[in-house]
Homo-oligomer: A and B are copies of this chain.
Amino acid sequence: MSQSNLPSRYEAIRTQKLNIDMTRGKPCNAQLDLAADLMTCVTNADAMVADGIDIRNYGAMDGIAEAKTLFAEYLEVATDEIIIGSNSSLSLMYDTLLRAMLFGVVDSPVAWCKLPEVKFLCPVPGYDRHFSICEHLGIKMIPIAMNADGPDMDQIERLVAEDDSIKGMWSVPKYSNPSGITYSPEVVARLAKMRCKANDFRIIWDNAYTVHHLSDTPDYLANLLADCKAAGNPERPIIIGSTAKVSLAGSSVAMIGGSKRNIDAIKKQMGVQTIGADKVNQLRHVRFFKNMAGIEAHMRKHAAILQPKFAVVQAVLAQELGGVMANGQAIATWSNPNGGYFVSLNTQPGKAKRVIEMAAAVGVKLTPAGSTSPYKVDPADTNIRLAPSFPSIPHIRTAMEVTALCVKLATLE
């Protein structure tokens, strides 16, 4: 790599007073506009739905039958293996762990908060909000390396077999946040079968991007619940889904699935907490999408908006950083995901934080350094999460040019 004119290019960018935000996996306006009709597609005349439920009144704590039918297919569970939640899948996960701390889960010998230590496995890089929940609840996080086919199963199997304070594991199994990796069928099967010393071990299967393809040859994710049932561990998975990036980010429907025994136990606890989620909004989703084919057709419209944005990221990174070496190593590597919301960029060790700082100094906000690691500390300081969904294509191009320039400058420092 030559450093000719890099500093002057950087100074020239500073004069442009950029203000581009690539920090969050937020849908852009064009994506949100796709769901315009969702907002008004249910009227007062539609009040009565299946089972004599009035969607405007109390009742159906676990969701209306129509929503359970649609989203059971979405989560690949049975209609008695699902609860329709409010607009935030994060709440479903947080509440699951909070209840586990206070009461334990099905088969827990004791409430987790009564134990001297509770640990969770955290594939890294991962989703910052998962890690925040653990930090908030005092659950110790153990980082797990990510391979091309999912988390390092050798490491996981070894750890869970010997340590009964390891009570669970986070996962975004499809188009993982941020690496874009989808767990292979073999990884899913091993997660289902592995022997856990804690018999109340839970996999939080946050399938946030299950229909969020960026390619015409989407990834395939095996059904963890089916594998767990076959392996005699039906209570192991807690499956989470959401339409946050299907319909509207703040007005979506989230859902929790799992074995009937798990779901019945959760329903019993939720019945004390809530009257149930907004049923009008549930019907809006059913009315608007109709069925899984409707959701898939809708997601093709999302993909048509997102594909060019992700293509720009790939094009600029390839052009600016492809084959560029320093100290005998590539100065950066990056993912090219088949779906999801992120591109994961890895610098040489010790450079990610500096790149993010330098980009911020000229008006390009990237996800804060360390966000993809437990406790917000990336020990190797290499990972940068790029979120190209929200900005415009020209902004993405500029942001990636700036990012690439900062990678070069930081590597040379």
Q: Check A36–B43 contact: CB distance below 8 A.
A: yes
Q: Check B54–A29 contact: CB distance below 8 A.
A: yes
Q: Using A27-B57, A39-B44 as known contacts, say yes or no to A251 and B279 having CB atoms under 8 A apart.
A: yes
Q: Check B274–A90 contact: CB distance below 8 A.
A: yes
Residues of B within 8 A of A132 (CB): 272
CA separation between A174 and B345, bound complex, in Å? 57
Those of A267-289 within 8 Å (CB) of chain B = 269, 272-281
Residues of B within 8 A of A249 (CB): 56-58, 275
Q: Check B274–A88 contact: CB distance below 8 A.
A: yes
Instruction: Choose one: B47, B58, B60, B273; the contact of A91 (CB below 8 Å).
Output: B273
Please encode chain A, from 93 to 112, with 1 for each CB lying within 8 Å of some chain B CB and 0 for all others.
01100100110000000000
Q: Check A272–B43 contact: CB distance below 8 A.
A: no
Whether A113 sits at the interface, judged by CB under 8 Å, is: yes
Q: Check B32–A54 contact: CB distance below 8 A.
A: yes
CA separation between A113 and B381, bound complex, in Å? 38
Interface size for A (C-beta < 8 A) is 54
Whether A314 sits at the interface, judged by CB under 8 Å, is: no
Q: Check A59–B250 contact: CB distance below 8 A.
A: yes
Whether A24 sits at the interface, judged by CB under 8 Å, is: yes
Those of A28-43 within 8 Å (CB) of chain B = 29, 32-33, 35-37, 39-40, 42-43
Q: Which of A43, A113, A273 has the most CB of B within 10 A?
A: A273
Residues of B within 8 A of A330 (CB): none
A327 → chain B closest CB, angstroms:
40
Q: Using A39-B42, A94-B274, A278-B281 as known contacts, say yes or no to A32 and B47 having CB atoms under 8 A apart.
A: yes
Whether A193 sits at the interface, judged by CB under 8 Å, is: no
A287 → chain B closest CB, angstroms:
12
CA separation between A250 and B55, bound complex, in Å? 7
A53 → chain B closest CB, angstroms:
9
Beyond A56-B250, A129-B272, A251-B279, list 4 extra A-B contacts (CB 8 Å). Answer: A88-B273, A90-B274, A98-B102, A244-B275
A-B contact pairs, 25 of them (CB 8 A): A27-B57, A32-B54, A32-B57, A33-B44, A35-B56, A39-B40, A39-B43, A56-B250, A57-B248, A58-B250, A60-B250, A86-B86, A87-B275, A87-B277, A88-B275, A90-B273, A94-B274, A102-B113, A132-B272, A133-B273, A136-B272, A250-B278, A250-B279, A251-B280, A281-B281
Counting from the closest, the 10 A-B pairs by CB-CB distance are: A36-B44, A94-B273, A251-B280, A56-B248, A32-B56, A136-B272, A88-B274, A40-B40, A91-B274, A251-B278
